[in-house]
């Protein structure tokens, strides 16, 4: 999700301002439908796997780190539904420069949270693989 959100933050959302008023509602509807097909299943899978870690954490992943990861997901989900979704709703009928600017600025919350989560998950992966390597040697 970190890669997806960076693409959205640096490419997709900025391009909203380049579409033009005449075709914006159609563009936004297309964007929203297509991005949901990509993002919704990934967000759900990420949340389910994050919660599953509470019950069966791999060796090398400590409980407080799992809670940090869940906290980051809570920030991401809250930002999505309290900040970004309302702006997308506002933009669904026509381009609104203020809503667009708020969308781009507020999306940094998710971008930073998913980036921190990516670092955390990478650390976990490194630990688990290093331990598996030691056990297999």
**Closest to 1 (Cα-Cα) out of 98, 86, 107:** 107
Rounded CA-CA distance 115/99 in Å is 24
Domain locations in the chain?
2-13+22-136
Average pLDDT over the chain, rounded to an integer? 95
DSSP for 50-90?
Answer: HHHHHHSPPTT--HHHHHHHHHHHHHHHHHIIIIIHHHHHH
Q: What is the pLDDT of residues 60-89, one digit of tens each?
A: 899 999 999 999 999 999 999 999 999 999
Q: For 51, phi and psi rounded to 5 degrees?
A: -70, -40
Assessment of whether the complete model's pTM goes beyond 0.75: yes
Contact 46, 3 (CB under 8 A): no
pLDDT at 134: 82
């Amino acid at each position: 999700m970190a890669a997806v959100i960076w693409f959205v933050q640096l490419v997709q959302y900025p391009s909203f301002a380049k579409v033009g008023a005449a075709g914006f509602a159609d563009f936004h509807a297309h964007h929203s439908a297509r991005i949901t097909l990509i993002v919704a299943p990934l967000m759900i899978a990420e949340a389910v796997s994050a919660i599953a870690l509470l019950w069966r954490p791999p060796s090398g992943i400590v409980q407080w780190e799992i809670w940090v990861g869940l906290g980051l997901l809570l920030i991401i989900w809250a930002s999505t539904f309290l900040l970004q979704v309302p702006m997308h709703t506002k933009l669904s009928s026509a381009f609104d420069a203020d809503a667009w600017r708020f969308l781009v600025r507020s999306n940094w919350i998710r971008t930073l949270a998913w980036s921190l989560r990516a670092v955390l998950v990478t650390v976990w992966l490194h630990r688990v693989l290093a331990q598996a390597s030691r056990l297999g040697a």
